[in-house]
């Protein structure tokens, strides 16, 4: 690409959100020119490939929140697209377990919340759990039949390929640098190519799905709100081969009162178990959310082995130190507004004259599950 180019729609970022948005817009508008700009050499190498790959049912989110809305819609869209296009998935279900009777009231609160979100959950007592392999030591559990796992890379590949077939232009190794102008007819944006050489694009629809960078992109577009994305690491320890296929369902403890879902056990489509993610704020004040060092396993992470083992033993009592090893780290794009943690997705839409822009901020979990619903809805907003 050279000097100044016009396309109808520019999408910044090719994580699961950017891919879904490009896919749905290109399906709805076959003649629209669409460019997806991505700073990395390929799609989905940041948060979208460093997560648990869980298709969440939508149990915990606040009633009427965007998380509750998009998770419920998005999960059904994921199951549907996976079934129709041979994308590997497993609707394995999940148990939220308790280890003693005192925790029962917490389970009931979760069930009530799920009820408001129209999510199906069933309570199983100790007697019922004793009939299920490797669950007999739990006191009680909630069973979520609509939770599952998927091969998120295959889903992203499918979205990218379908969008390319619909003439979407993916421009890799190209970073959004700044918004230069927003006049009545077009946005004018500056992009840096892989050699940091600037070039310019004009467009009338501008979509910011830049994940950990979305606050900076939004600010460059003149959004003055006092928000910032801070990185919150989530570490995973995997379990040795001997625990392969140990559980047939995902196993979650009660949510952590300090935030998050509690260190849980999920598995991939090959049955390999992992513990995590935990919550590690240690870099949030010192590092930019996009700092590559956040993904590296450091000395402190290795020291967490005992903490993971302790959490893991509540789920698999026979677990030993040598059964777990540090595997990988994902980074949550935690959004702070006026210095307060913002618990929901924040979607800012700006329409003036012929121009439309939308900024997706703080798309943490259940962002993977919600992506298709968000992408589809954005495609219905633009013209």
Quote the DSSP letter at residue 151: -
> Residue 332 interacts with ligand FAD (CB under 6 A)?
yes
CA atoms within 13 A on the CB side of 180: 14
> Residue 308 interacts with ligand FAD (CB under 6 A)?
no
> Residue 176 interacts with ligand FAD (CB under 6 A)?
yes
State how far the Cα of 120 lies from the Cα of 57, in Å rounded to an integer: 8
Cβ of residue 322: shortest distance to ligand FAD, in angstroms?
Answer: 25
* CB proximity list for 34: less than 8 A, separation 6 or greater: 7, 8, 9, 10, 11, 22, 25, 26, 163, 167, 168, 169
Q: Which is nearer to ligand FAD, 8 or 364 (CB)?
A: 364
**Listed ranges 48-56, 79-87, 179-187, 318-326: which one lies at the site for ligand FAD (CB under 6 A):** 48-56
Query: Would you call the peptide bond into 267 cis, given omega within 30 degrees of 0 as the criterion?
Result: no
- Binding to ligand FAD (CB under 6 A) within 224-283 occurs at 234, 277
Q: Which is nearer to ligand FAD, 129 or 179 (CB)?
A: 179
Cβ of residue 210: shortest distance to ligand FAD, in angstroms?
Answer: 4
Structure tokens at 123: 């309570």
Q: Which is nearer to ligand FAD, 139 or 175 (CB)?
A: 175
> Residue 40 interacts with ligand FAD (CB under 6 A)?
yes
Instruction: By CB under 6 A, name the one of 10, 16, 110, 141 that touches ligand FAD.
Output: 16
- The answer to whether 189 and 217 are in contact (CB under 8 A) is no
> Residue 58 interacts with ligand FAD (CB under 6 A)?
no
> Residue 362 interacts with ligand FAD (CB under 6 A)?
no
Instruction: Kindly provide the b/e burial profile for residues 286-297, where b requires at least 16 CB atoms within 10 angstroms of the residue's own CB.
Output: ebebbeeebeee
Beta bridge partners of 333: 231
Residues 168, 169, 175, CA angle at the centre, nearest 5°? 130
State how far the Cα of 91 lies from the Cα of 41, in Å rounded to an integer: 32
State how far the Cα of 26 lies from the Cα of 23, in Å rounded to an integer: 5
Cβ of residue 303: shortest distance to ligand FAD, in angstroms?
Answer: 19
Contacts 24+ apart (CB under 8 A), 104-110: 104/139, 104/140, 106/254, 107/140, 107/141, 107/142, 107/254, 110/59, 110/60, 110/142, 110/254, 110/255
Cβ of residue 105: shortest distance to ligand FAD, in angstroms?
Answer: 27
Cβ of residue 63: shortest distance to ligand FAD, in angstroms?
Answer: 19
Q: Which is nearer to ligand FAD, 97 or 374 (CB)?
A: 374
**Listed ranges 41-49, 117-125, 132-140, 162-170: which one lies at the site for ligand FAD (CB under 6 A):** 41-49
Cβ of residue 125: shortest distance to ligand FAD, in angstroms?
Answer: 28
Cβ of residue 359: shortest distance to ligand FAD, in angstroms?
Answer: 11
Nearest by Cα to 134 from 10, 284, 225, 248: 248
Cβ of residue 139: shortest distance to ligand FAD, in angstroms?
Answer: 26
Q: Which is nearer to ligand FAD, 123 or 182 (CB)?
A: 182
> Residue 146 interacts with ligand FAD (CB under 6 A)?
no
Nearest by Cα to 211 from 40, 22, 17: 17
Instruction: By CB under 6 A, name the one of 18, 253, 262, 362 that touches ligand FAD.
Output: 18
**Listed ranges 33-41, 102-110, 316-324, 335-343: which one lies at the site for ligand FAD (CB under 6 A):** 33-41
Name the E strands within 253-323. 265-267, 273-275
* Residue sitting closest to ligand FAD (CB): 367
Q: Which residues bind ligand FAD (CB under 6 A)?
A: 12-18, 37-40, 44, 46-48, 51-54, 56, 175-176, 209-213, 217, 234, 277, 330-332, 363-369
């Amino acid at each position: 690409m050279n000097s100044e180019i016009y396309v109808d729609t520019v999408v910044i970022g090719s994580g699961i959100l950017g891919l879904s948005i490009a896919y749905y817009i290109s399906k709805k508008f076959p003649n629209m020119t669409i460019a997806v700009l991505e700073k990395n050499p390929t799609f989905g190498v940041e948060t979208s490939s460093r997560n648990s790959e869980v298709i969440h049912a939508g149990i915990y989110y606040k009633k009427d929140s965007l998380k509750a809305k998009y998770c419920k819609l998005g999960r059904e869209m994921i199951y549907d697209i996976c079934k129709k296009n041979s994308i590997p998935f497993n609707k394995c279900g999940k148990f939220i377990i308790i280890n003693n009777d005192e925790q029962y009231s917490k389970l009931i609160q979760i069930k009530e919340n799920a009820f408001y979100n129209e999510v199906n959950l069933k309570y199983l007592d100790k007697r019922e759990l004793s009939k299920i392999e490797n669950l007999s030591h739990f006191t009680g559990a909630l069973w979520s039949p609509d939770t599952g796992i998927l091969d998120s890379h295959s889903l992203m590949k499918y979205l990218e390929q379908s969008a390319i077939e619909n003439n979407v232009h993916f421009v890799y190794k190209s970073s959004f640098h700044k918004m230069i102008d927003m006049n009545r007819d077009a946005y004018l944006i500056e992009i840096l190519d892989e050699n940091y050489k600037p070039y310019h694009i004009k467009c009338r629809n501008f979509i910011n799905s830049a994940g950990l960078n979305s606050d900076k992109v939004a600010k460059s577009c003149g959004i003055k709100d006092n928000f910032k994305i801070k990185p919150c690491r989530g570490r995973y320890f995997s379990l040795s081969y001997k625990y392969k296929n140990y559980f047939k369902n995902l196993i979650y403890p009660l949510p952590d009162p300090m935030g998050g879902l509690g260190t849980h056990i999920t598995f991939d489509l090959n049955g390999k178990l992992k513990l995590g993610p935990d919550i590690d704020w240690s870099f949030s004040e010192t590092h930019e959310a996009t700092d590559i060092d956040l993904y590296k396993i450091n000395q402190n992470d290795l020291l967490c082995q005992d903490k993971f083992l302790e959490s893991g033993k509540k789920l698999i009592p026979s677990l030993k130190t040598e059964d777990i090893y540090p595997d990988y780290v994902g980074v949550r794009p935690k959004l702070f507004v006026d210095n307060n943690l913002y618990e929901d997705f924040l979607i800012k839409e700006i329409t003036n004259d012929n121009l439309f822009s939308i900024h997706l901020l703080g798309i943490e979990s259940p962002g993977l599950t919600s992506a298709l619903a968000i992408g589809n809805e954005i495609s219905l907003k633009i013209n």
